[in-house]
Amino acid sequence: MLPTLLLLICAPLCEPTGLILTYSPSWLVDGSPLTLTCVNQLHQRLPAQTQFRFLKNGSPLGRGWAHSSQYQVAAVWSEDSGYYQCEVWTAAPRTIKSKVVRIDIQRMPVRNVTLETQPAGGHVAVGQTLVLACLVGGGSGDISFLWYRGALGLNLETKTQRSLSAKFEIPAVRESDSDQYYCAANNGYGPRLSGLVSVTVTVPASRPVLTLRAPAGQALVGDTVELHCEAQTGSPPILYRFYHDGVTLGNSSAPSGGGVSFNLSLTAEHSGNYSCEADNGLGAQRSEVVPLSVTVPEENRTELTTMVIIEGLFGILGLLTAVLLICCWCKKKTGQPSARDSVRSPPCPPPRESTYLNTTAPEQRQPIYENVNVGRGDEVYSLAYCVQQEWQPAAERLRMPADGLDPSVIYSGVRKVDVEDEDDDYEDAM
C-alpha cells in the first residue's frame, strides 16, 4: 500500500519532460521577427492528435492549443522580453511542459535626428500652416519626440509613438512666429537633438502711398519733383515701380524695407496722373492715383509757342513739297507727248545761201551739230554748220576790207525759225 502511494506522488516529479523550447534569431532587437519551436526529445513519438501551446510569463500566447509545434511573431519589442515555455497535450490525456527560457529583446538607441519644415526652406506667409517634421535615422521601440523654439529651448509639443518620424503643426502662423526651431528624440537611451532651423514668416506688402514733393508749391517746367512711394508693412526686399498715365517711368528696390524715391525733371508733357506699385513676391499692390499739373512760365510759354509755330510751318512746307513732287511726277507721267507731239527729228533744210561774210563763194557746209527736237512753246531752234574756208595769201588776209570786218574771223548769222512753220514741215515729212 505504501509503495504504491509513493510511486503516485513521485511519478510526476521524477518523470523527464523530454521537451525543449528554442527561438530564433538568437539576437533580437526591437522590430525583429521571432519564431518559437517546441522540440520533442522524448523516447517515443507523439501521437498525431498531439497539440502544442506556448506561454509567456505563464500566460498562453495566441489562440492557445494548436497542432503546430511552432509559433511566430512578426515583430517583437523590448516590452516583449520575458519567460517563455511550451507544453504538449496528448490523448492520454496527458500534459508535458518544457523548461522555462528567458528571451530578451534589445532596444536600439535613436540616431541622426533632423528637423524639416513644410513649406521647404523655412519661408512661410502669414496665415499659412507651418509643419515641423522631426525625423530619426534609426532607433527602436517607442520614441518620444519633442519640439523646441528658440535657443533657450521653449518646449512646444511632445509626442510618443512607435515611429521614426513625427510632425508638429502651427495652423496659422503669425509674423511673431519667425524664430529658430529644433527637435529631440528619445527611446530610453537619452535624447538626441537636431540642428537649429530658421523659420521666416513673410508679410505681403500693403497698399503703398505715393507722395509728390515739389521744391515750390507749384510745379514749374524745369523743376525737379520727387516721387516717394512707401508701403507701411511688408517683408523686405520690396520692389517699387512708378507710373505716369499707366506708362512705367522706372523702378527701385528697398532691400531693407521702407520707401524709395524717384526724381523727375519736369517738362510740359509731364502733366498727368501718377501712381506707384509695391511688390515683395507675395502680390503687387498699387497706390492711389495722384494728379500733377505742370505750369509753363510766360517766357517759356512764348518760346514754346514759337517752337510750335515753327514746327507747324516746317510741317506745312514739307507737306507742300511732297504735294508738288507728286504733281510734277503725275504731270510727267500724264504729259508724255503723243504720236503727234513726240520728239521728232526735223528734215534737213534745203541748202541756203551762205551767210558767212568773209567768203566770196559758197562752200559745202558740213554740219557738226544739228538740233533735232521740236517741242512746244516759243522755243527757238538753230542749225550750226562748219565751213572749210579757202586758204588765202597772207597779204590778202592782212588787208582790211572796206566794211571793217576781220577776214580771219568767221562770222555767222542766226535766223529765228518759226516753230509753227517747222511743225508744218514736220507734219508734211511725216
Q: What pLDDT, on the 0 to 100 scale, is given for residue 77?
A: 86
pTM, whole model, 2 decimals?
0.50
Please tell me which residue, 185 or 316, carries the higher pLDDT value: 185
Residues in the chain: 430
55-65: per-residue pLDDT in tens? 999 999 988 89
Residue (of 196, 263, 260) closest to 234 by Cα position:
260
Please tell me which residue, 18 or 208, carries the higher pLDDT value: 208
**pLDDT bracket for residue 295 (50, 70, 90):** confident
**pLDDT bracket for residue 417 (50, 70, 90):** very low
Compute the average pLDDT of residues 324-341: 68
Question: Which residue, chain included where needed, has cell 559745202?
Answer: 364
Compute the average pLDDT of residues 306-326: 83
CB burial string 21-53: b at 16+ within 10 A, e below: bebeeeebebbbebebbbebeeeeebeeebbbb
Q: What pLDDT, on the 0 to 100 scale, is given for residue 159?
A: 96
Chain centre to alpha carbon of residue 187 = 48
Distance of alpha carbon 174 from alpha carbon 207, whole angstroms: 19
Distances (CA, A) of 192 to 110, 136, 141, 426: 7, 9, 15, 124
> pLDDT > 70: what percent of the chain?
70
Distance of alpha carbon 186 from alpha carbon 164, whole angstroms: 11
Distance of alpha carbon 235 from alpha carbon 231, whole angstroms: 10
pLDDT at 377 over 60: no
**pLDDT bracket for residue 216 (50, 70, 90):** low
Distance of alpha carbon 260 from alpha carbon 283, whole angstroms: 18
pLDDT at 223 over 70: yes
pLDDT at 92 over 50: yes
Reported in sequence order, the residue ranges of 139-237 that DSSP labels E, i.e. its strands, are 143-149, 154-161, 165-170, 179-186, 192-193, 197-202, 209-213, 224-230
Residue 58 DSSP label = T
Phi-psi region of 69 (alpha: psi -120 to 50; beta: other; left: phi over 0): alpha
3-class DSSP state for residue 10? helix
User: Grid coordinates in use for 129?
Assistant: 500652416
Q: What pLDDT, on the 0 to 100 scale, is given for residue 412?
A: 54
Q: What pLDDT, on the 0 to 100 scale, is given for residue 309?
A: 80
